[in-house]
Amino acid sequence: MLLCLILVILLASVKYRETLPLPGVLENAGGDIKVSSAQPGVVESVNVSIGDFVEVGTVLLTIGRSAFDASGVDHTEQDSQRLRDRRQQLADQKEWLGRQFLQQTQLVVERIKQSDARTIEIEAGKALIQRQLAISEDQLSRLKSLTDGGGLTQFEFEKEQMRHLELLSRQTGLNRQAQDIILDSQSLRAQLLRLQIDHETSNKEIAEQLTELEFQQAVLSRNSSLALVAHAAGVVSGVMAGPGARVVPGEPLIYVQPQELNVLATVFVTGSAVGKLEPGQQALLRYDSFDHHSYGRYEATIVEIERSSLDPRDHMLPLTQIGEPVFRVSLRPNQHYVEGPDIYPLLPGMTLTADVVMHEMTLIQFMFKPFLGLRGKLT
């Protein structure tokens, strides 16, 4: 008797959920970010590929906005070529001035070396004459005594005196040459300094002109090209245009899947079953990538039911096994990850089966359901 009572209590308290299995797929609720241009042009470069992760501010592609006249001449390219030609002229001028400076500097340095060598020779000659003069003065002093004593004629004394004067004249000449060489050496060193100053001044002027040309080129590039950047971090999911493609304002060029995902489960319901569904209805999700015996099933809630059907012959649906018109139904999962032996995040594109709860009843009601179905048929 007690066992029967316990059995009745269990049958009356345990709930049974009757579910409707529906195929579906996870989708990003906000959708991929469409990157487009507000201005026409031509794609110059694409800097990303599908699957690349991009940060906020990453340049995705650049669009050329060249100006053409009636004859098809690209004014922007003409201006760029003019700036490139001028930059090359300055580079050639700098190279030529460098060669000239090197040649002139080598000549001046060589002359300074020669002047220094000549100075050494003259100083050696002056030292020799100085010694010869000291000897000559001593000899003249002795000869003067001999001449005064009658031991030497006046002619011989004057002859020796003339040789002494010649030494003095040679000394004066060497002193004059030494002074001229000093002045010449100073002039050469001043010339070398002027060459260095002129060379630095020329390089500075060329550098300033190159800087101005770079600024003009930057302004020209900024006015002639447009860089499209990522406004949110994420993964590039689509590249719709390559270099050389014409850009139509507002037309998507790149798709970026946001890093912060808000996934919804989208299921496709036939017309015979959609009338049984309503927003707020509960469902249990089984993800095909994970064995539900190990990872379980996860609760979700129906948030939207579209009222127009989709024919797979006219629309590209994410599930290939659909062969008849269906209605799109969106469910919001209660959690954005699965857990079992490991934990994995939910990602757009994962296929699933949603077991939508159609009825909830006790085991007693479930057992008597066949008999309730006969109601109205028995007399």
Percentage of residues in the chain with pLDDT exceeding 90?
19
Percentage of residues in the chain with pLDDT exceeding 70?
83
Mean of pLDDT values over 2-16: 58
* Residue 320 counted as domain residue: yes
On the question of pLDDT at 8 being above 60, the answer is no
Owning domain of residue 276: 14-30+262-374
Structure tokens of 310? Answer: 């989709």
* Residue 6 counted as domain residue: no
Give the closest residue to 43 by CA, choosing from 250, 226, 219. 226
On the question of pLDDT at 88 being above 90, the answer is yes
Q: Say if residue 293 is in the same domain as residue 269.
A: yes
Mean of pLDDT values over 45-64: 88
- Which string of DSSP letters, residue by residue, matches 234-284? EEEEEE---TT-EE-TT-EEEEEEESS--EEEEEEEEHHHHTT--TT-EEE
What pLDDT is attached to residue 374?
Answer: 47
Q: Where is pLDDT greater, at 377 or 137? A: 137
What pLDDT is attached to residue 93?
Answer: 93
In the chain, alpha helices (H)? 2-13, 75-149, 154-224, 271-274, 292-295, 363-367, 369-372
* Residue 351 counted as domain residue: yes
Q: Say if residue 25 is in the same domain as residue 47.
A: no
Mean of pLDDT values over 354-366: 66
Q: How confident is the model at residue 105 (pLDDT cuts 50, 70, 90)?
A: very high
* Residue 65 counted as domain residue: no
* Residue 49 counted as domain residue: yes
Q: Say if residue 219 is in the same domain as residue 80.
A: yes
Q: How confident is the model at residue 75 (pLDDT cuts 50, 70, 90)?
A: low
Q: What are the tens digits of pLDDT across the range 142-168? A: 888 888 777 778 888 788 889 888 888
Q: What are the tens digits of pLDDT across the range 229-250? A: 888 888 888 898 888 888 888 8
Q: Say if residue 357 is in the same domain as residue 322.
A: yes
Q: Say if residue 214 is in the same domain as residue 306.
A: no
Q: Say if residue 255 is in the same domain as residue 271.
A: no
With 0.75 as the threshold, say if the pTM is over it: no
Phi, psi of 34 (to 5 degrees): -90, 125
Phi, psi of 88 (to 5 degrees): -70, -40
Q: What are the tens digits of pLDDT across the range 30-52? A: 677 888 887 787 888 899 998 88
What pLDDT is attached to residue 201?
Answer: 92
Distances (CA, A) of 137 to 117, 141, 153, 167: 30, 6, 18, 11
Q: Say if residue 116 is in the same domain as residue 133.
A: yes
What CATH number is given to the structural domain containing 268?
2.40.30.170
What CATH number is given to the structural domain containing 110?
1.10.287.1490
Count of CB atoms within 10 A of residue 332's CB?
A: 16
**Mean pLDDT value across the chain:** 82
State the total domains in the chain. Answer: 3
Q: Where is pLDDT greater, at 305 or 2? A: 305
Distance CA 74, CA 250 (A): 24
On the question of pLDDT at 322 being above 90, the answer is no
What CATH number is given to the structural domain containing 41?
2.40.50.100
What pLDDT is attached to residue 261?
Answer: 67
Mean of pLDDT values over 88-98: 93
Q: Where is pLDDT greater, at 276 or 352? A: 352
Last residue of one domain, picked from the residues 201, 223, 245: 223
On the question of pLDDT at 267 being above 70, the answer is yes
Q: Say if residue 266 is in the same domain as residue 254.
A: no
What pLDDT is attached to residue 26?
Answer: 87
* Residue 92 counted as domain residue: yes
* Residue 360 counted as domain residue: yes
Q: Say if residue 21 is in the same domain as residue 157.
A: no
Q: Say if residue 198 is in the same domain as residue 80.
A: yes
Q: Say if residue 237 is in the same domain as residue 343.
A: no
- The identity of residue 62, as a single letter, is T
Residue 254 backbone zone (phi > 0: left; psi -120 to 50: alpha; other: beta): beta
* Residue 63 counted as domain residue: no
Q: How confident is the model at residue 199 (pLDDT cuts 50, 70, 90)?
A: very high
Q: Say if residue 351 is in the same domain as residue 312.
A: yes
What pLDDT is attached to residue 301?
Answer: 92
What pLDDT is attached to residue 98?
Answer: 93
